[in-house]
Chains A and B, each alone.
Chain A
Amino acid sequence: MLKFLLRRLAYLVFLVVVATAVAYLLAATQLNPRSRYEGRNPPPPEAVVDAALDAINMNDKTPVLQRLDRWARGVLHGDFGRTIDNTPVNAEFGRRIFVSLRLLLVGSILGMLLGLAAGAYGAVKQYRVPDRLLTLFSFVVLSTPVVVLAVLYKNAGIALNNALGFTGDTRLLYTTGEITPGLATWSWAGVQDRLAHMVLPSLVLITAAVAFYGRYQRSAMLDVLGSDFLRTARAKGLRRGQALVRHGLRTALIPMATFFAYQFALLFVGATFTEKIFGWHGMGEYFVDSVTNNDVNSVAAVTLFVAVLVLVAGFLSDLAYAILDPRVRV
């Protein structure tokens, strides 16, 4: 058993290494960090540009494998290299991870719980009005790209501000950033300001999560509702509500374990579009910006991070199955 686990672990590490190397090579050959200096007026001397690019290990005159080697050696010592602005990638990660966490923690958990509750309720009321409404909602939201959803919410927020007369410096809801610059973070005003910034992006995440989880939980619950063990639970004298929650809901949650695991692991990178549109400088935004800024080391580091998260999520989902479903345990 231990041998099997070790072999599995070695395979996963191998996958992460190959994925990161592929991303690094693609980024290093396709992106063009030199373009950052080419547009300047007056153009800096070539030797200066070369020196600047050498300092951040992005000089396209160095063979790409040599650059990869230098970067990989750094990674082995816990150093993910320099960004295109010559700041450490590690520092960028440290800051952005918490920005994403602050946004995603509330939104995902709330959205997930609401979606599960809505889905279970919809299944119990199958084909009645609440179920129809929920299904319609899920279908429409799942057919709407997150970018469109985010733009719609942003504009609704602006319209609400204007309608209620918040046109000065203090707004009811904010549509860009995480906090008004200059406010003390932990003052009462600061907390209020943070909340006003959080509402709209969180609503986007919650809407999408409710549609997604509601749809899956409804079908999982429907599979359970017709089962024999639920009838047995009623027959031995449990009330309908008790039987549904204790025997129905728990069983219906098992197939959802995979989604929980991935949701948990993707807490850091799950909101690329939302972060970008609402101007939160988190990991999701880093995803897009690293490519637009020709930031090779950041692209590779983000890929490494995501690859590890996905594999951890796979492991967590197996674990969750084992906890929820006693039959899996051997």
Chain B
Amino acid sequence: MQQPSAGQPRASVPAVTSRAVLVWRRMRRQPLAMAGLAIVALLFAMAYLMPHFIPWRYDQLDTRAFLSPPSAAHWFGTTQNGFDMLALTLRGMQKSLVIGVLGALVATGLAAVVGAFAAYFGGWLNTVLVGVVDLLLVLPAFLIIAILSPVFQGRTWLIFVLLLAAFQWMITARIVRGLTLSLKEREFVHAARFMGVPGWRIIFRHILPNMASLLIVDATVNVSSLILAEVGLSFFGFGVQPPDVSLGTLIGDYSGAALTFPWEFYFPAGFLVALVLSVNLVGDGLRDALDPDAGAGRGT
């Protein structure tokens, strides 16, 4: 009865299979999710390895090939200045991947910490944190990041990632807060508290691990939302700043050329959609694998 038995309902069965193994097995049974995972891995490898094997760098001009269509020398063609489209696309994909993964970790981590601390400690901390969540939900994220874009102009793009993440965690924090409110009345949390374990350690050891599946799925969903948010902002020049490129700036810069020089637009746009689509497929598969009782057709 005192056992923390939330995650293992059949603890008496002798051969215990670990949860990760179970989830992985369920995941492998979903062809679409596995395809998504493979494509994400492939795009990751492409973005970080391929630049070492192609002859052009993303900031290097080929002055003998302006606006050349895809050819043997330039697989994805070149721009009007002679930039190699393949190198640009790979560089942009690196940026989009980093923004998505890093931003998602920050956003989900923030949501978990804020939600759990607000609910566990209650009192004035709860009032303040709930107020912050409400306020950030009311502020239009696009507008605020756009206003602040001069701040990260010429400085590190990390500020941009943090800003994107800062507007991405509030709804999850609300869910975490609700779950924590019910978890903190459970026996294993009481037991830990009566033994003198400090509150912050109870949160990290006992409360947050109990909602791991929610947090994992949330992080995956955040990856694709953040990549899409970056595109929207960079399209209007409020995101990643030149001379750096991201898939968003490429799509923004070359959207006007889509009819006349299609390779400038369709390569970055195509890779972006492929990336987000496969991340979404992985997220959907993870959700089903972590929570097989929920209906198969949950929304993203």
Q: Does A216 contact B (CB under 8 A)?
A: yes
Closest CB in chain B relative to A12 CB, distance in Å:
9
Cβ contact of B146, chosen from A123, A147, A152, A288, cutoff 8 A: A288
Q: Are B228 and A219 in contact (CB under 8 A)?
A: no
Cα distance A287–B144 in the bound complex, in angstroms: 10
Q: Which residues of chain A are within 8 angstroms of B235 by Cβ–Cβ distance?
A: 145, 147, 273
Q: Does B151 contact A (CB under 8 A)?
A: yes
Size range of the chain A interface in the assembly: 35 or more
Q: Are A148 and B138 in contact (CB under 8 A)?
A: no
**Contacts known (A23-B139, A30-B151, A291-B238); A148 close to B269, Cβ less than 8 A:** yes
**Contacts known (A222-B295, A303-B139, A307-B138); A142 close to B148, Cβ less than 8 A:** no
Q: Does B102 contact A (CB under 8 A)?
A: no
Q: Are A148 and B272 in contact (CB under 8 A)?
A: yes
Closest CB in chain B relative to A316 CB, distance in Å:
15
Q: Does A97 contact B (CB under 8 A)?
A: no
A-B pair number, CB within 8 angstroms? 115
Number of interface residues of B (CB under 8 A): 41
Stretch at the interface among B117-125, B201-209, B251-259: B251-259
Q: Are B148 and A26 in contact (CB under 8 A)?
A: yes
Interface of A (DSSP majority class): helix
Q: Are A155 and B259 in contact (CB under 8 A)?
A: yes
Cα distance A26–B232 in the bound complex, in angstroms: 21
Cα distance A272–B269 in the bound complex, in angstroms: 19
Cβ contact of B297, chosen from A126, A158, A272, cutoff 8 A: A126
Q: Are B297 and A18 in contact (CB under 8 A)?
A: no
Q: Which residues of chain A are within 8 angstroms of B300 by Cβ–Cβ distance?
A: 142, 215
Stretch at the interface among B71-79, B186-194, B211-219, B276-284: B276-284
Which residues of A pack against B, CB within 8 Å? 15-16, 18-19, 22-23, 26-27, 30-31, 123, 126, 135, 139-140, 142-148, 151-152, 155, 158-159, 215-216, 218-219, 222-223, 269, 272-273, 276, 287-288, 290-292, 299, 302-303, 306-307, 310-311
Q: Which 10 A-B pairs have the closest CB atoms?
A: A143-B277, A143-B276, A219-B297, A291-B146, A145-B231, A216-B299, A307-B138, A151-B255, A19-B138, A306-B140
